[in-house]
Amino acid sequence: MRLSAYFLPTLKETPAEAQIASHRLMLRAGMIRQSSDGIYSWLPLGFRVLKRIETIVRRELDIAGCQEVLMPTIQPAELWRESGRYEDYGKEMLRIRDRHDRDLLYGPTNEEQITDIFRASVKSYRELPRNLYHIQWKFRDEVRPRFGVMRGREFLMKDAYSFDVDFAGAKRSYNRMFVAYLRIFARMGLKAIPMQADTGPIGGDLSHEFVILADTGESAVYCHRALIEFDVLSAGIDYDADLEPIVAQWTQHYAVTDDKHDPDACPVDPDDLVTARGIEVGHIFYFGTKYSKPMNAVVTTAEGETVPVEQGSYGIGVSRLVGAIIEASHDDAGIIWPDAVAPFAVALINLKPGDAATEAACEDLYAKLRAAGVEVLYDDTTERAGVKFATADLIGLPWQLTVGPRGLAKGIVELKRRATGERDELSAEAALARLTA
């Protein structure tokens, strides 16, 4: 993509409403614009990151045996009245009425909707287990939306729902998602720590929240050092095998947020205790028959007995993750995207537009990188070199490939790794080889 043709409305000044790094940088980098309080439009650069995150989530869930559906944003109120949550959920739920005087709501979550879909179609234990997920926009009417996409009113969420005939099956489904979540966040270049959590308005009695470590995190976290050192992706996973040993490896170690941490009762030696800041990016729940009983979602067992299904719910804040990744990976100059979620892999910078040799070299590199499947944002604008470098650092692509007449006279270009700041002067061919390896 040529920057001269790309919609990238960057800002030089930080908007007054931006209180945290991710909000500030997403606005300045032209990723989002506020539509109304806590609601944002996603512009091309930000939307590309959203799609990158979706792809990783979708790939890992599919490997884990989940199946994707798409449920509506607007749900009938009678489903929530069946479960007993319509009045209990509170003012965060946006309630509306259509022209036929039917009560509807903008879904904050989908337990009722998916249970209704399930109960109409599945009647036997032979059709279990099942895990259905979708990636859909949600709405919760936060009283004080703030921090940009980190705590907005409208947000993109992956929510999955498991159905099993008994607790043993439900625990196996829970373990699958526990492991899948570890892998999802690791694929994004994040260190996520599972921590015991309260179940909140969704309900249930088994729950973990997944917290990524970030210096500017919203809460303090305390965990055993071993959790930081585990390599999640080093071995393949057989989701049909017993995953309890992997889950136990993580849950046997101390890991809590500040509201659950008691310094006087902490079982971890001070030398092994990691104190950091964290951001919640995922939450998993087992809640048994909380919804299946009142909504009569039942199956027949092998013995001919009719029982309510055992359920779990598993959420990942997809749009929240964009902000969380920035909080975990930025510097004073701008964003530093991990490779897997970066909107483009390379920023190609032409230091002297109009110079024939420089133009020819840039066009050649641009064409060859694209032919190799490398996504490039080519700065072919007439801005000054300093502006181009500032923009490249601000939007944070993993690599910056700079071409100018002085370097070309010596047969070299400059390749910079954004994460480390390391710069190499090398031939165009060597730069291509490194970027396409």
Confirm or reject CATH 3.20.20.80 for domain 3-335, answering yes or no. Answer: no
Spans of the chain below 50 pLDDT: 202-203
Q: What confidence score (pLDDT) does residue 322 get? A: 98
Q: What is residue 428's predicted lDDT score, i.e. its pLDDT?
A: 97
pTM: 0.94
What is the architecture of the domain spanning 344-436?
Answer: 3-Layer(aba) Sandwich (3.40)
Q: What is the 3-state secondary structure (H, E, C) of the chain?
A: CEHHHCCCCCCCCCCCCCCCHHHHHHHHCCCEEEEECCEEEECHHHHHHHHHHHHHHHHHHHHCCCEECCCCCEEEHHHHHHHCCCCCCCCCCEEEECCCCCEEEECCCCHHHHHHHHHCCCCEHHHCCEEEEEEEEEECCCCCCECHHHECCEEEEEEEEEEECCHHHHHHHHHHHHHHHHHHHHHCCCCEEEEECCCHHHCCCEEEEEEEECCCCCEEEEEEHHHHHCCCCCCCCCCCCCCHHHHHHHHCCCEEEHHHCCCCCCCCCHHHEEEEEEEEEEEEEEEECCCCCCCCCEEECCCCCEEECEEEEEEEEHHHHHHHHHHHCEECCEECCCHHHCCCCEEEEECCCCCHHHHHHHHHHHHHHHHCCCCEEEECCCCCHHHHHHHHHHHCCCEEEEECHHHHHCCCEEEEECCCCCEEEECHHHHHHHHHC
The pLDDT assigned to 40 comes to 97
Domain edges within the chain: 3-335, 344-436
Instruction: Say what the pLDDT of residue 146 is.
Output: 86
Looking at residue 14, what is its pLDDT? 86
pLDDT of residue 198: 65
Can you give the pLDDT at residue 202?
47
